[in-house]
Structure 1
Amino acid sequence: MTVEKEEEDKAELEKALTQSEITDIQIEDAMVSMSVVRQKNDEIDRLQSLLDKEKVSHQETMKELGDLREETRITEERIEHALREKEQYDEMKVLLQQESLQVQEAVKDKDVQIEGLQAKIQ
Protein backbone atom coordinates (compact mmCIF):
# COMPACT_ATOMS: atom_id res chain seq x y z
CA MET A 1 0.00 0.00 0.00
CA THR A 2 2.91 2.25 0.23
CA VAL A 3 3.05 2.72 -3.51
CA GLU A 4 -0.64 3.47 -3.59
CA LYS A 5 -0.23 5.90 -0.71
CA GLU A 6 2.65 7.60 -2.50
CA GLU A 7 0.60 7.88 -5.67
CA GLU A 8 -2.31 9.31 -3.70
CA ASP A 9 0.03 11.76 -1.97
CA LYS A 10 1.56 12.65 -5.32
CA ALA A 11 -1.90 13.16 -6.84
CA GLU A 12 -2.95 15.30 -3.88
CA LEU A 13 0.29 17.29 -4.16
CA GLU A 14 -0.26 17.83 -7.89
CA LYS A 15 -3.85 18.80 -7.18
CA ALA A 16 -2.68 21.21 -4.47
CA LEU A 17 -0.04 22.68 -6.83
CA THR A 18 -2.61 23.00 -9.58
CA GLN A 19 -5.01 24.67 -7.14
CA SER A 20 -2.17 26.93 -5.97
CA GLU A 21 -1.39 27.86 -9.58
CA ILE A 22 -5.06 28.54 -10.20
CA THR A 23 -5.18 30.70 -7.07
CA ASP A 24 -2.03 32.55 -8.20
CA ILE A 25 -3.62 33.18 -11.58
CA GLN A 26 -6.82 34.34 -9.90
CA ILE A 27 -4.80 36.67 -7.68
CA GLU A 28 -2.99 38.08 -10.72
CA ASP A 29 -6.31 38.50 -12.53
CA ALA A 30 -7.77 40.22 -9.47
CA MET A 31 -4.75 42.55 -9.29
CA VAL A 32 -5.08 43.39 -12.98
CA SER A 33 -8.80 43.95 -12.48
CA MET A 34 -8.12 46.22 -9.51
CA SER A 35 -5.60 48.15 -11.58
CA VAL A 36 -8.17 48.54 -14.35
CA VAL A 37 -10.78 49.59 -11.77
CA ARG A 38 -8.36 52.19 -10.35
CA GLN A 39 -7.70 53.50 -13.86
CA LYS A 40 -11.43 53.65 -14.55
CA ASN A 41 -12.02 55.41 -11.21
CA ASP A 42 -9.27 57.91 -12.05
CA GLU A 43 -10.87 58.47 -15.45
CA ILE A 44 -14.28 58.89 -13.81
CA ASP A 45 -12.81 61.40 -11.34
CA ARG A 46 -11.14 63.31 -14.19
CA LEU A 47 -14.35 63.35 -16.23
CA GLN A 48 -16.41 64.37 -13.18
CA SER A 49 -13.99 67.23 -12.57
CA LEU A 50 -14.34 68.32 -16.20
CA LEU A 51 -18.12 68.03 -15.93
CA ASP A 52 -18.13 70.16 -12.77
CA LYS A 53 -16.01 72.80 -14.52
CA GLU A 54 -18.34 72.73 -17.52
CA LYS A 55 -21.35 73.12 -15.22
CA VAL A 56 -19.77 76.17 -13.59
CA SER A 57 -18.86 77.55 -17.01
CA HIS A 58 -22.41 76.91 -18.24
CA GLN A 59 -23.86 78.68 -15.20
CA GLU A 60 -21.58 81.67 -15.80
CA THR A 61 -22.55 81.70 -19.48
CA MET A 62 -26.25 81.55 -18.59
CA LYS A 63 -25.78 84.45 -16.15
CA GLU A 64 -23.96 86.45 -18.83
CA LEU A 65 -26.75 85.60 -21.27
CA GLY A 66 -29.32 86.81 -18.76
CA ASP A 67 -27.34 90.02 -18.24
CA LEU A 68 -27.11 90.54 -22.00
CA ARG A 69 -30.84 89.97 -22.39
CA GLU A 70 -31.51 92.53 -19.67
CA GLU A 71 -29.13 95.01 -21.30
CA THR A 72 -30.83 94.36 -24.65
CA ARG A 73 -34.24 94.99 -23.10
CA ILE A 74 -33.05 98.25 -21.55
CA THR A 75 -31.44 99.33 -24.82
CA GLU A 76 -34.63 98.54 -26.74
CA GLU A 77 -36.62 100.64 -24.24
CA ARG A 78 -34.16 103.51 -24.68
CA ILE A 79 -34.42 103.23 -28.47
CA GLU A 80 -38.23 103.28 -28.29
CA HIS A 81 -38.09 106.31 -25.99
CA ALA A 82 -35.64 108.07 -28.32
CA LEU A 83 -37.86 107.31 -31.32
CA ARG A 84 -40.90 108.75 -29.50
CA GLU A 85 -38.89 111.86 -28.62
CA LYS A 86 -37.76 112.19 -32.24
CA GLU A 87 -41.36 111.90 -33.43
CA GLN A 88 -42.37 114.60 -30.94
CA TYR A 89 -39.43 116.74 -32.07
CA ASP A 90 -40.38 116.25 -35.74
CA GLU A 91 -44.00 117.15 -34.98
CA MET A 92 -42.87 120.20 -33.03
CA LYS A 93 -40.55 121.16 -35.88
CA VAL A 94 -43.41 120.98 -38.39
CA LEU A 95 -45.62 123.06 -36.07
CA LEU A 96 -42.86 125.64 -35.61
CA GLN A 97 -42.26 125.79 -39.37
CA GLN A 98 -45.99 126.34 -39.94
CA GLU A 99 -46.05 128.98 -37.23
CA SER A 100 -42.95 130.59 -38.73
CA LEU A 101 -44.66 130.73 -42.13
CA GLN A 102 -47.75 132.25 -40.53
CA VAL A 103 -45.60 134.85 -38.75
CA GLN A 104 -43.77 135.62 -42.02
CA GLU A 105 -47.10 136.02 -43.80
CA ALA A 106 -48.37 138.20 -40.96
CA VAL A 107 -45.19 140.31 -41.20
CA LYS A 108 -45.69 140.64 -44.99
CA ASP A 109 -49.30 141.64 -44.39
CA LYS A 110 -48.20 144.22 -41.81
CA ASP A 111 -45.49 145.46 -44.22
CA VAL A 112 -48.14 145.85 -46.91
CA GLN A 113 -50.38 147.70 -44.45
CA ILE A 114 -47.47 149.91 -43.39
CA GLU A 115 -46.62 150.64 -47.03
CA GLY A 116 -50.27 151.47 -47.64
CA LEU A 117 -50.37 153.77 -44.63
CA GLN A 118 -47.08 155.40 -45.67
CA ALA A 119 -48.47 155.93 -49.16
CA LYS A 120 -51.58 157.58 -47.68
CA ILE A 121 -49.44 159.77 -45.45
CA GLN A 122 -47.37 161.02 -48.37
Structure 2
Amino acid sequence: MKWLILLLGIFSNAFASVLIKLAMIAPRKFPSIQDPGSLLNNWPFWAGLSLYGIAFLLYSAALARLPLNIAHPILTSGAVAVVAILSSLFFHESFHWSTIFGIVLVICGVFFITVKVV
Protein backbone atom coordinates (compact mmCIF):
# COMPACT_ATOMS: atom_id res chain seq x y z
CA MET A 1 0.00 0.00 0.00
CA LYS A 2 2.84 2.41 0.83
CA TRP A 3 4.29 2.01 -2.68
CA LEU A 4 0.89 2.61 -4.28
CA ILE A 5 0.54 5.83 -2.29
CA LEU A 6 3.99 6.94 -3.45
CA LEU A 7 3.21 6.01 -7.06
CA LEU A 8 -0.05 7.97 -6.96
CA GLY A 9 1.91 10.91 -5.53
CA ILE A 10 4.36 10.72 -8.44
CA PHE A 11 1.59 10.75 -11.04
CA SER A 12 -0.37 13.49 -9.24
CA ASN A 13 2.74 15.67 -9.15
CA ALA A 14 3.59 15.00 -12.81
CA PHE A 15 0.07 15.59 -14.14
CA ALA A 16 -0.16 18.76 -12.04
CA SER A 17 2.93 20.07 -13.84
CA VAL A 18 1.41 19.20 -17.22
CA LEU A 19 -1.82 21.00 -16.35
CA ILE A 20 0.01 24.11 -15.13
CA LYS A 21 1.99 24.18 -18.39
CA LEU A 22 -1.29 23.83 -20.30
CA ALA A 23 -2.72 26.69 -18.25
CA MET A 24 0.07 28.99 -19.45
CA ILE A 25 -0.24 28.24 -23.19
CA ALA A 26 -2.37 30.38 -25.52
CA PRO A 27 -5.27 31.04 -25.61
CA ARG A 28 -4.84 30.90 -21.84
CA LYS A 29 -2.24 33.10 -20.22
CA PHE A 30 -0.52 33.82 -16.96
CA PRO A 31 -3.03 35.57 -14.69
CA SER A 32 -2.46 39.28 -14.16
CA ILE A 33 -3.96 42.09 -12.11
CA GLN A 34 -5.21 43.73 -15.31
CA ASP A 35 -7.25 40.65 -16.20
CA PRO A 36 -8.26 38.81 -13.01
CA GLY A 37 -11.03 36.96 -14.88
CA SER A 38 -8.40 35.02 -16.82
CA LEU A 39 -7.52 33.21 -13.62
CA LEU A 40 -11.12 32.27 -12.87
CA ASN A 41 -11.69 30.78 -16.34
CA ASN A 42 -8.41 28.90 -16.47
CA TRP A 43 -9.56 25.37 -15.54
CA PRO A 44 -6.15 23.70 -16.15
CA PHE A 45 -4.62 26.06 -13.60
CA TRP A 46 -7.14 25.07 -10.94
CA ALA A 47 -6.93 21.37 -11.82
CA GLY A 48 -3.13 21.52 -11.63
CA LEU A 49 -3.21 23.37 -8.33
CA SER A 50 -5.64 20.77 -6.95
CA LEU A 51 -3.41 17.92 -8.12
CA TYR A 52 -0.41 19.55 -6.43
CA GLY A 53 -2.46 19.58 -3.22
CA ILE A 54 -3.37 15.91 -3.68
CA ALA A 55 0.29 15.10 -4.43
CA PHE A 56 1.29 16.82 -1.19
CA LEU A 57 -1.25 14.80 0.79
CA LEU A 58 -0.10 11.56 -0.84
CA TYR A 59 3.54 12.45 -0.17
CA SER A 60 2.67 13.11 3.47
CA ALA A 61 0.91 9.76 3.69
CA ALA A 62 3.91 8.05 2.09
CA LEU A 63 6.24 9.68 4.63
CA ALA A 64 4.15 8.17 7.43
CA ARG A 65 4.99 4.74 6.00
CA LEU A 66 8.44 5.14 4.44
CA PRO A 67 11.73 6.75 5.51
CA LEU A 68 12.31 10.24 4.15
CA ASN A 69 15.61 9.21 2.51
CA ILE A 70 13.68 6.67 0.42
CA ALA A 71 10.37 8.43 -0.24
CA HIS A 72 11.76 11.80 -1.32
CA PRO A 73 14.28 10.61 -3.94
CA ILE A 74 11.76 8.18 -5.43
CA LEU A 75 8.98 10.77 -5.59
CA THR A 76 11.22 13.47 -7.03
CA SER A 77 12.99 11.35 -9.63
CA GLY A 78 9.78 9.54 -10.55
CA ALA A 79 8.04 12.85 -11.17
CA VAL A 80 10.98 14.09 -13.27
CA ALA A 81 10.87 10.95 -15.43
CA VAL A 82 7.09 11.02 -15.86
CA VAL A 83 7.11 14.75 -16.70
CA ALA A 84 9.78 14.15 -19.36
CA ILE A 85 7.58 11.50 -20.98
CA LEU A 86 4.33 13.47 -20.65
CA SER A 87 5.86 16.67 -22.01
CA SER A 88 6.89 14.76 -25.10
CA LEU A 89 3.44 13.23 -25.52
CA PHE A 90 1.29 16.28 -24.77
CA PHE A 91 3.47 19.19 -25.90
CA HIS A 92 5.70 17.49 -28.48
CA GLU A 93 8.78 18.61 -26.60
CA SER A 94 12.05 16.95 -27.50
CA PHE A 95 12.71 13.44 -26.24
CA HIS A 96 16.18 12.44 -27.41
CA TRP A 97 18.29 9.44 -26.55
CA SER A 98 20.01 11.69 -23.98
CA THR A 99 16.68 12.14 -22.19
CA ILE A 100 16.25 8.38 -21.93
CA PHE A 101 19.86 8.01 -20.79
CA GLY A 102 19.35 10.73 -18.18
CA ILE A 103 16.21 9.06 -16.84
CA VAL A 104 18.07 5.76 -16.57
CA LEU A 105 20.94 7.48 -14.73
CA VAL A 106 18.51 9.14 -12.32
CA ILE A 107 16.80 5.81 -11.63
CA CYS A 108 20.18 4.15 -11.05
CA GLY A 109 21.24 6.99 -8.76
CA VAL A 110 18.06 6.76 -6.72
CA PHE A 111 18.50 3.00 -6.50
CA PHE A 112 21.98 3.42 -5.03
CA ILE A 113 20.82 6.14 -2.67
CA THR A 114 17.92 4.11 -1.32
CA VAL A 115 19.30 0.57 -1.35
CA LYS A 116 20.17 -0.75 2.06
CA VAL A 117 23.67 -2.12 2.20
CA VAL A 118 23.78 -5.29 4.23
Instruction: Please classify the TM superposition score into its range, dividing by the shorter chain length.
Output: under 0.3
Q: TM-score, normalised by structure 2?
A: 0.23
Q: Which has the larger radius of gyration?
A: 1
Structure with more helix by fraction: 1
Q: TM-score, normalised by structure 1?
A: 0.23
